[in-house]
Structure 1
Amino acid sequence: MKFRVDRDVLADAVTWTARTLPTRPPAPVLAGVRIEADATGVISLSSFDYEVSARSEIPAEVSEPGTVLVSGRLLADIARALPHKPVDVSLEGTKVVVTCGASRFTLLTMPVEDYPTLPQMPELSGTVSGDALTLAVTQVSVAASRDETLPLLTGVRMEIEGERITLLSTDRYRLALRELTWTPATPGFSAVALVKAKTLIDVAKSLGAGGGLVNVGLSTGSGLDLIGFEAGGRHTTSQLVDGDYPAVRRLFPDATPIHAVVPTQALIDAARRVSLVAERNTPIRLAFTEGQVVLDAGQGDDAQASEALEAVLVGEDITVAFNPQFLLDGLTALGTDFVRLSFTHPNKPVEFTGQESLDGEDSSDYRYLLVPIRFAG
């Protein structure tokens, strides 16, 4: 194997392909990146850990086709450190030699025949705007659980019905729902999948950030349930999370007799300031009365803080308390000038939605439901 490639192109591709490599691989070969040089002038770089696969294709001047397996993280570190000159890669015996300008590195190869076969990208199910996908995933993933002992809740439920995708996530303390449109490959396409939140986050950052279209492929009921994403010569697949996701949609209230509207950024800033005195696991309280909301934290002999903001209140006065970080997560994810908080009872979940003006209608595209913390007094 022998090829020449642009340094930046190589560094970018290797870094992207190696990003999902396991820290403690169950088999040594799974720490490797498989490099295949094709006579057509295309280099394929692949990684796989039996759950998530990644493949990147880049152009190169291929003198001798071939396939090798080398340490992915080491190759990524080397590629990023190389000078900005063309890179020559060649196989010499059992070693891969990387030369760039006056720099020369020698890497040991791993047995490529022991490397598992990557799963095929599922058949195209539809396409979605990269920007729309990135925003939706960012908004929903804040509510996904980080607790690996509850694998179901570390996933994002994806419900596809025709031209609409609904993403749902919960960690039992909050619930996020985001709806977006896409273009299905076949009209009336319908599917449900549970995708690892960290996989979606990675896809949004690495494939959706370019602003183009992202191809999505979904394969269910065939023994190996997979979801695949492709954009710009990069493909990634992930096994779906197995299990029945809880029926969380019913948690959204049918009616909310009380609601308040507050400028979003002002509430974020005030919550950050007031929460400075909130000890770990202690809440921040929001007291809504006509024309204002007062935020306060701390009590007794502890440090205390309070701040008042203008707010519009419809309905009775109400006071609720939240985990400060969960409150900030929801407010930050909204991305609108104003936030509407809809209440049924001080101890019942509060729904956060965004709206563009103080007296406008709220949008149901993104809904964030947060369970309040009970407090004395």
Structure 2
Amino acid sequence: MEQHTVSFTVPKDDFSSALAWVARSLPSKPTQPILRGVMIVADDDGLELSGFDREVSTRVRIHAEVDEPGRILVAGKLVSDIVGSLPNKPITMRYEGTTVTLSSGSSRFELRPMTIEDYPVLPELPTPTGSINPHLFSQAINQVAVAAGRDDTLPMLTGIHVEIDGKDVVMAATDRFRLAVRKFEWNPSESSSKATLLVPARTLHDAARSLDQGFTNDVTIAVGSGENIGREGLLGIETDSRHMTTRLLDAEFPKFRPLLPNQHSALASVEIAPLLDAIRRVSLVADRNAQIQMEFSSDSLILSAGGSEVGKATEQLDCAFTGEPLTIAFNPSYLKEGLSAIDSQRVVFGFTMPSRPAILIPEPQELPEADAEGNFPTPDTKFTYLLMPVRLPG
């Protein structure tokens, strides 16, 4: 260690929240044990906590009474668990010699510090590219991240594709079985900004979770400026006292726009809450992730599942339907996740045929009229969830 003694006292809630946020992005099985560490820098302005696994970095600053400034590197998840378990009293941390002492009230822990010399230098944030309301950003990420792949052997599917074109942003994610697309507007630093990025979905989803914790100021997104947007291969997100960076994925996202149908042979409008409840009930007799059938007719939707040795379940719901009646089947988990991502009271399904993907979108103010051939154009929407059907039995 560089100094003989480091000592500070910090409010429990602030320390616990900051530690939990940094520790959440630390690897559970790191390539180097030192990457499990949280770096704590105590100075005249309080504490800065940071973590870095060479892919994702996190950094947060909180207030503290610093008696003796310096740096401490400790096992992140362990210290986060310890601090989270302590009563709501001020916490004193002191490093001296070869021991880190953490005390609060009658509780006292003695921990071994980690060696600072080998700890990697955190990357700096790229030049800011724009800003966005944290709740809008979080909502958009949550809506598309649900469709991202989880198979690391297909890295192009584990990311969220981000297109920036001035004030317009499009996010998309797919795992080959479903596709989620979200459009929104933000505040670019330069009106001519253009970029195409592929950001790890897991990292963005974690960022969205932290943005839901009461942040009100706009989030700054940093991927560079001018012709250098994305050139550093790094995305930075900064809000209030926190900032994080993540390496961009070096892979090409599939061309997704041709997959989105521009017209449909039938449209259905269903209330989401009772539909989700019905799916959960009828799925109880289905084998794990076995299909759930949906039979649409002029004024009703019949859900059914099962038929094996366990039994069978059916449930009928009200439904506004236009077009030729049809029966289609979906993976119930994918269907529920798509419905849960829609932020309106009702969902509109768009169908072409039972063997082709269907779209799920928030219900617009008005549904389109059929053209001369009886087809319905896709309603204008900010969010689209495209879902592959599963083969009907028989």
CA change 1:6–1:91 in 2 (3 A) is same
1:35 equivalent in structure 2: 40
CA shift, 1:251, in A, is 0.2
**For residues 59-138 of structure 1, what are the structure 2 equivalents within 5 Å?**
59-138=63-142
1:312 aligns with 2:320: yes
SS at match of 1:266: helix
Q: Which of 231, 252, 261 is equivalent to 1:253?
A: 261
Deviation per residue, 1:214-266 (Å, 9 max, x gap): 11111467764111111121111110111111101210012112111112222
SS at match of 2:277: helix
1:18 aligns with 2:26: no
1:373 equivalent in structure 2: 390
SS at match of 2:350: strand
Conservation of the 8 A alpha-carbon contact between 2:367 and 2:379: no
CA change 1:376–1:101 in 2 (3 A) is closer
CA shift, 1:211, in A, is 4.1
How far, CA to CA, are the matches of 1:282 and 1:222 in structure 2?
Answer: 41
Conservation of the 8 A alpha-carbon contact between 1:124 and 1:217: yes
How far, CA to CA, are the matches of 1:311 and 1:86 in structure 2?
Answer: 57
1:45 equivalent in structure 2: 49
Q: Which of 326, 329, 332 is equivalent to 1:324?
A: 332
Q: Which of 152, 158, 161 is equivalent to 1:154?
A: 158
2:190 equivalent in structure 1: 186
Deviation per residue, 1:171-224 (Å, 9 max, x gap): 100000011221111112111111111111110011343242211111467764
Conservation of the 8 A alpha-carbon contact between 1:261 and 1:358: no
CA change 1:196–1:300 in 2 (3 A) is closer
SS at match of 1:12: helix
How far, CA to CA, are the matches of 2:215 and 2:318 in structure 1?
Answer: 37
1:57 aligns with 2:61: yes
Aligned residue identity for 1:297: A
Conservation of the 8 A alpha-carbon contact between 2:195 and 2:230: no
Deviation per residue, 1:148-181 (Å, 9 max, x gap): 2212111111111111221100010000001122
Structure 1 stretch displaced more, 243-252 or 219-228: 219-228
Conservation of the 8 A alpha-carbon contact between 1:11 and 1:80: yes
CA change 1:279–1:151 in 2 (3 A) is same
Q: Which of 204, 215, 219 is equivalent to 1:214?
A: 219
CA change 1:359–1:253 in 2 (3 A) is closer
How far, CA to CA, are the matches of 2:81 and 2:276 in structure 1?
Answer: 38
Conservation of the 8 A alpha-carbon contact between 2:223 and 2:232: no
1:142 aligns with 2:146: yes
Identity %: 41
How far, CA to CA, are the matches of 2:298 and 2:7 in structure 1?
Answer: 74
Aligned residue identity for 2:390: I
Conservation of the 8 A alpha-carbon contact between 1:208 and 1:214: no
Conservation of the 8 A alpha-carbon contact between 2:298 and 2:320: yes
1:355 aligns with 2:359: no
How far, CA to CA, are the matches of 2:382 and 2:109 in structure 1?
Answer: 51
SS at match of 2:77: helix
SS at match of 2:141: helix
CA shift, 1:362, in A, is 5.0
1:9 equivalent in structure 2: 14
Aligned residue identity for 2:124: Q
How far, CA to CA, are the matches of 1:310 and 1:8 in structure 2?
Answer: 48
How far, CA to CA, are the matches of 1:118 and 1:184 in structure 2?
Answer: 26
SS at match of 1:169: strand
How far, CA to CA, are the matches of 2:27 and 2:390 in structure 1?
Answer: 37
CA change 1:113–1:357 in 2 (3 A) is same
1:233 aligns with 2:225: no
Uncovered stretches (5+) of structure 1, i.e. residues with no partner: none
How far, CA to CA, are the matches of 2:156 and 2:356 in structure 1?
Answer: 24
Uncovered stretches (5+) of structure 2, i.e. residues with no partner: 1-5, 369-377
Aligned residue identity for 1:27: Q
Aligned residue identity for 1:368: Y
How far, CA to CA, are the matches of 2:364 and 2:122 in structure 1?
Answer: 46
How far, CA to CA, are the matches of 2:310 and 2:39 in structure 1?
Answer: 57
SS at match of 1:180: strand
How far, CA to CA, are the matches of 1:102 and 1:309 in structure 2?
Answer: 59
1:303 aligns with 2:311: yes
CA shift, 1:302, in A, is 5.0
CA change 1:138–1:351 in 2 (3 A) is same
Conservation of the 8 A alpha-carbon contact between 2:215 and 2:240: no
Conservation of the 8 A alpha-carbon contact between 1:133 and 1:208: no
SS at match of 1:334: coil
What is the TM-score normalised by the length of structure 1? 0.94
How far, CA to CA, are the matches of 2:288 and 2:100 in structure 1?
Answer: 51
Aligned residue identity for 1:129: N
Count of paired positions: 376
